[in-house]
């Protein structure tokens, strides 16, 4: 079995709760008799968009989906290493265009129907056959991005076919190699869903749903997977309630229910934990960590699998000069940025991916913090009086950017020391800020900006390919060589071939300086004293069947 095309060592978690190191879905070791009962109440920062993970791209929808749905493979708890899930093993063809999965026996969907090879192919064919509005990027983002097209789209994409060669085997064929195909299958967007329920509740029918299948009966009331919990009810803008799946093939959940409450205000989440109204929450504000520790609450840092960066928009002619971009890099003291505005455990970055990702280039040297060198380069470029519009978001906390206002203030001060005049451009996160940074209409409104990314799985294309794989409004540059190299690396059939290609690409990116990688922040979660069994994941693959709560 290919246990991870590129398995990495398990990460040591700071303050892992209950020392739960075994597989969260290991079969046969827990029964209903061993369940602790009760509820586990977790606070989310927003409501899910809907409950069909195939049509989702947001973390809060995925958080709920991971409790109800499972994919062919998953990430080993606490790491980015692959491990079996609904597939017990897999094998790739030599040309990288065919993958055969051996499926777990005795698994049923929560509606009682069988999980088998036909069900696997029904899911792959469902994604490929989406048409009309179902091909919109804001509906089926991950399939469109990773499979590059649909049967009836402008391009057919890289999916070719799926064949169920038996109840416990399915073979997926691609038109082009995609070395990270198996890693991509860890995404909730590619979870296995009951073909019977999808059809029964019109999962892909846009009729009567204002042309949006995300509001179908399936996506709002009848999500049906193979996971340790099943859907009970969704009270909009308040909470989602899931109950234990007593027919689950693996470790039965130890709690009877999980309740995911929507609390958008970070301070309110802290207060609800202190009051005993919730058992845990994500995205703890850096200023709240120590007070919570002092009060006896548990803090767990999620391993940083992300990047916070300063983007540089080369639509500004002055920024098209690499000397100017290099000057900006020398003007920033990353250590001070981390110390002043990011959580404990955050580290500085020198590439647009964390060092856990294969293709990371250890030989790259980070531009040293040197104000005099920055001034020298600006003078050589004839930009001693450089003025920049610096955009940053307000009213938001992201895993890679927990306190954007504080990060902005630190970097603004540093740039001004190098003689760069900074004009602040603040905007609310959604849709204003993202539209300004990533939309064509906003390119004249920012010269530099704060943004970041949390990786979905261990693959370099999921970082640098997302940022620099094609010309975009965010960066404003046209570099055909870089675009071509990234496209070619993505299609190399094996990881052994990809690694040196991406190491070379990372060196080219470092020399080109399209932006400044700042840090890999460590997001924090907080829990009540009685919570055990929660293992934080760098890719947020956190399943709660082994969580217990003592009150």
> Is residue 293 domain-resident?
no
CA atoms within 13 A on the CB side of 243: 5
What pLDDT is stored for residue 247 in this prediction? 96
Range of the domain at 359: 306-520
- DSSP3 helix / strand / coil % (the chain, rounded to 5): 30, 20, 45
Tens digit of each residue's pLDDT (9 = 90 or more) over 151-163: 997 889 999 999 9
> Is residue 166 domain-resident?
yes
> Is residue 284 domain-resident?
no
Asked if the model's pLDDT at residue 242 lies above 70, the reply is yes
What pLDDT is stored for residue 212 in this prediction? 73
Same domain, 353 and 462: yes
State the pLDDT confidence band at 27, using cuts at 50, 70 and 90.
very low
What pLDDT is stored for residue 206 in this prediction? 59
What pLDDT is stored for residue 29 in this prediction? 36
Arithmetic mean of pLDDT, 215-243: 96
Tens digit of each residue's pLDDT (9 = 90 or more) over 393-447: 987 788 899 889 999 999 999 999 999 999 999 998 877 898 899 887 778 999 9
Number of separate domains in the chain: 2
Same domain, 545 and 500: no
> Is residue 119 domain-resident?
yes
Same domain, 504 and 540: no
Same domain, 533 and 424: no
Q: 515: which residues sit within 8 A by CB, 6+ positions away?
A: 309, 310, 311, 312, 352, 475
The long-range contacts involving 441-444, CB below 8 angstroms and separated by at least 24 positions, are: 442/473, 443/313, 443/315, 443/473, 443/476, 444/315
Tens digit of each residue's pLDDT (9 = 90 or more) over 195-209: 999 999 999 875 544
> Is residue 463 domain-resident?
yes
Same domain, 542 and 462: no
Arithmetic mean of pLDDT, 497-516: 97
Structure tokens at 323: 């000397």
Same domain, 137 and 227: yes
Same domain, 380 and 453: yes
Question: Residue 419's closest CA among 391, 444, 393, 388?
Answer: 388
> Is residue 68 domain-resident?
yes
The CA dihedral of 469, 474, 478, 481, to the nearest 10 degrees, is -30
> Is residue 9 domain-resident?
no
Tens digit of each residue's pLDDT (9 = 90 or more) over 351-395: 999 998 999 999 999 999 999 999 999 999 999 999 999 999 987
**CATH number for the domain harbouring residue 453:** 3.10.105.10
Arithmetic mean of pLDDT, 476-492: 94
Residue 39, SS3? strand
Same domain, 540 and 512: no
> Is residue 104 domain-resident?
yes
Structure tokens at 131: 């048409």
Cα–Cα distance between 248 and 225 in angstroms, integer?
A: 10
CA atoms within 13 A on the CB side of 517: 27
Structure tokens at 528: 């009540």
H helix or E strand, kind and range, residue 74: strand 73-75
Same domain, 438 and 335: yes
Cα–Cα distance between 366 and 351 in angstroms, integer?
A: 8
Same domain, 510 and 529: no
What pLDDT is stored for residue 536 in this prediction? 94
Tens digit of each residue's pLDDT (9 = 90 or more) over 310-323: 999 999 999 999 99
Look at 175-189, 428-442, 450-464 and tell me which has the smallest mean pLDDT: 428-442
Same domain, 222 and 314: no
């Amino acid at each position: 079995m290919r246990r991870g095309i590129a398995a990495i060592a398990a990460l040591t978690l700071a303050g892992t709760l209950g020392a739960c190191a075994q597989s969260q879905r290991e079969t046969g070791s827990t029964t209903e008799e061993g369940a602790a009962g009760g509820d586990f109440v977790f606070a989310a920062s927003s409501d899910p968009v809907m409950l069909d993970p195939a049509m989702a791209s947001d973390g809060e929808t995925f958080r709920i989906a991971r409790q109800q749905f499972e994919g062919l493979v998953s990430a080993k708890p606490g790491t980015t290493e692959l491990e079996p899930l609904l597939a017990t093993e897999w094998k790739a063809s030599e040309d990288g265009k065919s993958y055969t999965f051996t499926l777990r026996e005795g698994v049923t969907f929560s509606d009682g129907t069988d999980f088998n090879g036909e069900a696997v192919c029904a899911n792959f064919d469902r994604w490929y056959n989406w048409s009309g509005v179902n091909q919109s990027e804001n509906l089926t983002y991950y399939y469109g991005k990773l499979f590059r097209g649909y049967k009836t789209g402008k391009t057919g994409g890289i999916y070719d076919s799926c064949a169920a060669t038996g109840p416990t085997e399915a073979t997926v064929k691609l038109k082009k190699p995609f070395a990270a195909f198996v890693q991509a299958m860890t995404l909730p967007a590619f979870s296995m869903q009951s073909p019977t329920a999808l059809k029964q509740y019109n999962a892909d029918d846009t009729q009567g749903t204002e042309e949006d299948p995300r509001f179908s009966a399936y996506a709002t009331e009848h999500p049906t997977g193979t996971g340790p919990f099943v859907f009970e009810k969704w009270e909009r803008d308040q909470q989602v309630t899931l109950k234990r799946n007593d027919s689950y093939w693996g470790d039965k959940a130890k709690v009877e229910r999980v309740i995911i409450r929507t609390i958008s205000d970070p301070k309110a989440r802290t207060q609800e934990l202190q009051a005993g109204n919730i058992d845990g929450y994500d995205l703890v504000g850096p200023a709240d960590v120590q007070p919570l520790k002092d009060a006896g609450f548990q803090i767990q840092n999620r391993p940083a699998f992300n990047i916070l960066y300063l983007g540089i928009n080369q639509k500004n002619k002055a920024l098209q000069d690499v000397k100017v971009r290099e000057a900006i890099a020398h003007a920033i003291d990353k250590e001070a940025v981390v110390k002043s505005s990011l959580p404990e455990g955050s580290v500085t970055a020198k590439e647009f991916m964390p060092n856990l990702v294969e293709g990371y280039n250890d030989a790259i040297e980070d531009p040293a913090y040197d104000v005099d060198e920055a001034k020298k380069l600006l003078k050589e470029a004839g930009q001693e009086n450089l003025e920049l519009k610096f955009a940053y978001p307000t009213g938001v906390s992201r895993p890679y950017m927990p306190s954007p206002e504080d990060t902005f203030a630190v970097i603004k001060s540093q740039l001004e020391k190098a003689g760069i005049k900074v004009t602040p451009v603040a905007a609310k996160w959604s849709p204003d800020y993202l539209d300004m940074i990533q939309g064509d209409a906003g390119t004249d409104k920012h010269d530099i900006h704060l943004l970041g990314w949390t990786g979905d799985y261990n693959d370099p294309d999921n970082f640098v390919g997302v940022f620099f794989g094609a010309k975009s409004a965010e960066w404003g540059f046209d570099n055909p060589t870089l675009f071509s190299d990234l496209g070619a690396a993505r299609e190399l059939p094996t990881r052994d071939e990809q690694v040196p290609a991406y190491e070379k690409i990372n060196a080219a990116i470092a020399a080109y300086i399209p932006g400044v990688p700042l840090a890999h922040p460590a997001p924090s979660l907080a829990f009540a004293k009685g919570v055990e069994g929660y293992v934080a994941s760098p890719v947020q693959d956190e399943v709660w069947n082994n969580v217990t709560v003592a009150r």
